[in-house]
Structure 1
Amino acid sequence: LDGFWPSLSLSLQIAVLSSALSLVAGTLAALAIARGRLPGATALGTLLVSPLMMPGLVLGIALLQYFRMIGLTATWSALLVAHLVVTLPYVARTMIAGLSRFDFTLIEAARTLGCTYAGSVIRVMVPALAPSFLIAGLFSLLASFDNYPVSIFLTDVRSKTLPIRMLQYIEEAPDPTLAALSTLILAGTLVLLLISDRLVGLHRMAGTAD
């Protein structure tokens, strides 16, 4: 498995960072949309989730042409921006659904009891939206880590994400190595689900996804 470590490291870096950035940007956008105070909120919501409606190959080619046009040649940076485009819709869609069920008067009630605005958000909103945060983070993390159709247009010989490296390996030297690696990835996914169940419960996550 030694030959896969650079690709695994690259995929993890891109997945974690793009998911974190998506959580911040997607939550802020969802807040603006859910509160209904932003002009064109409906159009913004449609724009945020539009990448989900596009074939991955089309999105990958469009991003490749755009990066060439603006002169972005760094593979790592291009992958990060592209995966941000891929993961942001998952976060935005999940957070909009979660915030649509949140009672914002609870924040005002907390403020009347002496909390600052930031304190009321941290003590009231964040715990209430924990399932939404968790499921959005998981969806975006897995969507980035497993992405192939967009990444294939942006990698180079030295920098390849794990899905691309695995596909090339099976074409060049098919052996049980890929089966072992796939088992490890599946085990890691199950561990994430178990941790999520411990933190907020899978039934609450399923309710948020609906």
Structure 2
Amino acid sequence: MLARATLALAGDEIATEPPATAAEPAWAFSITAYPTQVRGGDNYTSGIAIAERGSLHLEARYNYESVGARSAFVGWNFSGGEALAWKLTPLLGGAWGETQAVIPGFEAAVAWRAFDFYVEAEYVRDKTAHSDSYTYAWSELGLRPVDWLRVGLAGQRTRVYGGERDFQRGPFAQVTVKHLTLGVYCFNPGASDQVVVGSLNLAF
């Protein structure tokens, strides 16, 4: 942030006020765990940690692009709107471990009244085998009837677990109590390849 000096004019006199330094943006952090139950497959837990300061966005992930993969990203937040609020975060990062890749991507959100839409997407460009490169996406269409409850539909395209579906979808629900948000997502409900994802988020 740049400090702005205030000049006050009084008749022919110019009174210089002490420089007024804008408050430095504070760091904001969030940690989310996603325990995942795969019907007919291996269960696992993935995690995401985010740190933001002003427009700067830093993100680290575990078991996200693939089981055993670790990844890190840097991005920049753009936002605006009042009645229709929006936020866009372009990202660039990389993965190591089970998956070794350069990963460009983005996260975006739009909110209007009690409705919101969120999407994140990334292209995982595998450095060891180009044929293993793929595009991952996660989207949510949500409704918040009261401040502490959010429900809606979610969809994802992933290679973390097997299955013939190119795109998976299902309902979700989230409950927020102060800094803690608990959620559950059910993809392909009732099917032989049903996937249930829990979410535990702490923001501070």
Bigger share in helix: 1
How does the TM-score come out when normalised to structure 2? 0.20
TM value normalised by structure 1: 0.20
Higher CA-based Rg: 2
The structure carrying a bigger strand percent of its residues is 2
Higher relative contact order (CA 8 A, sep 6+): 1
